[in-house]
Chain A
Amino acid sequence: MSDVSHSSLPSVVRCVVACVALALGIAPAALVATAQDTPLISGGVGFFTSTNGGNTTYLPVLSPLLAAPIGSHLLVESRANLFEVYFPKGNGQIGYTSKPFLNLTFLQGDYLVSPHLTIVAGDFLTPFGTYNERLSPIWIGNFEDGPLIIPLGTMGTESSVGGMLRGSAVSTAKYSVDYAAYFSAASTNLQFNSERSSGGRASIYFPASGLEVGGSYGRLLQGTHQNYSGFHVWWEPIDSPFRLRSEYAHGEHSQGYWIEGDYRLSQFGGAESPLGRLEPIFRMQQTFRNSPDPSDSLPSVDTKRADFGLDYHLPHEIRINTSYARQFSATGNRNVWETGIVYRFLFPTWKGK
């Protein structure tokens, strides 16, 4: 849930109206597309609980994604998070209180220029590292919360408002290279919040070994200019249910890494067997504070955290997540217990012929 930024309800209404208008606007254009190109609605709906240092919060979430092709070269896509947080009242009061939120995660237009180039414009996820773009949806991420280093390189907002060039630079049977480069303007709009920045990511993937290595760079271009750099290593051996994902990120005032491994027990009777639906997961992460900077959203002191989890993949796209984490830092050690259930949906916006 790290990709969620908070906003108030009046802007939520404006946002919903804008999205509906957008959907109505693109619908007639999308109708002329081919039979396979019907706009789709995908996403996830989930209910999560988290007990962090003794305080339990409840979080029902709806995260819809709209993708609508227009003609043969354009795609408009958007994802939102609607949720309500239920948390203890605190200050000695008994009971819970709640607060609703809506956050537009991205709203972008993609123009497919050539097999090697796509131009993206609008509000898009900042291409730094891998977690933000690939693993942040609630129906994809193994753990309920994201790694601690996510704000590094994603400029704290995790999305950018501007333009991006991306695509596959080279693709052969032995390796493929892809890239993304962006420029973002500063925006203080609640739903399109971003920092003036630029950067990008490049990675190389070796399909025979299932190894991907990449590097990211970002530069904050407002206030005190700062550089961010990072690299990632993913290893997902072919014909193995094991996956290893990791990232390292470095900023002016802090740095850190995370390593996550998961192993679906599909070798015990297949992925659909009762045991084969189990997926033990583990994540180790550390952050290091070089100098004080309250704006980078990382812990104020060196922090170490180990997460142990067990996911269970039920039929009909339902997944149960459970995890326990122990966090160590100079400000105090604590336990974090998390459980959740997520349903993933995917269907066309209208029934075709």
Chain B
Amino acid sequence: MRALKLFGSLITLAMFLLLATQTRSLAAASGKTNSSQQDKTTRPEPPSQGERAFRQNCSRCHNAPEGFSPQISGTIVRHMRVRANLSREDERAILKFLNP
């Protein structure tokens, strides 16, 4: 029980600290946006469904490869489907993202 209590306390503390820093930086960012009336056209494009699925399923463990042959994109996705338990939608979205 001692180990479990310690583990729980450390996790809670780490998440609390990160949440606090995130909230602060978000507040600062929104303040900046309001005051400067930032032009919407300069904002970065939101990520595509495929990119989002890639981030949520693949990049959580490893960095994206710098580049690879389109010949193996299907094999990569099939490997990731098993390793990361991808849903059908995520599998299709990632394949489209890797091989547009």
Contact = CB atoms under 8 A, between A and B. Distances in A.
A316 interface: yes
Nearest to B91: A115
B75 A171 contact: no
Given A233-B11, A246-B7, A352 B69 contact: yes
Nearest to A40: B72
Given A176-B87, A259-B7, A317-B65, A39 B75 contact: yes
Interface string B55-69: 110001111011011
Contact of A347 (B68, B79, B87): B68
B71 interface: yes
Interface in A257-280: 257, 259, 261
A252 interface: no
A118 B82 contact: yes
A134 B84 CA distance: 8
Contacts of A237: 18, 22
A317 B66 CA distance: 7
Given A40-B72, A112-B78, A180 B85 contact: yes
Q: Is the interface of B mostly helix, strand, loop or mixed?
A: helix
Contacts of A140: 61-62
Contact of A40 (B55, B60, B76): B76
B43 interface: no
B88 interface: yes
A52 B89 CA distance: 47
A259 B15 CA distance: 12
Given A37-B74, A40-B76, A256-B3, A244 B65 contact: no
Interface in A164-197: 166-168, 171, 176, 178-180
Nearest to B14: A244
B7 A348 contact: no
A84 interface: no
B82 A110 contact: yes
A83 interface: no
Contacts of B18: 235, 237, 242, 244
B2 interface: yes
A133 B62 CA distance: 12
B60 A257 contact: no
B85 A167 contact: yes
A240 interface: yes
A112 B79 CA distance: 11
B7 to A, nearest CB: 4
B3 A166 contact: no
B33 interface: no
A36 B62 CA distance: 22
A240 B78 CA distance: 27
A166 B79 contact: no
Nearest to B62: A140
B3 A118 contact: no
Interface in A33-64: 33-40
Contacts of A167: 85
B37 to A, nearest CB: 22
Among A137, A139, A257, the one with the most B-chain Cβ atoms within 10 Å of its Cβ is A257
A243 to B, nearest CB: 8
Contacts of A112: 78, 81-82
22 contacts: A37-B72, A38-B71, A38-B72, A38-B75, A69-B78, A77-B82, A112-B82, A120-B82, A134-B83, A139-B62, A166-B82, A168-B85, A168-B86, A168-B88, A176-B87, A207-B52, A238-B55, A257-B10, A259-B14, A288-B3, A317-B65, A348-B72
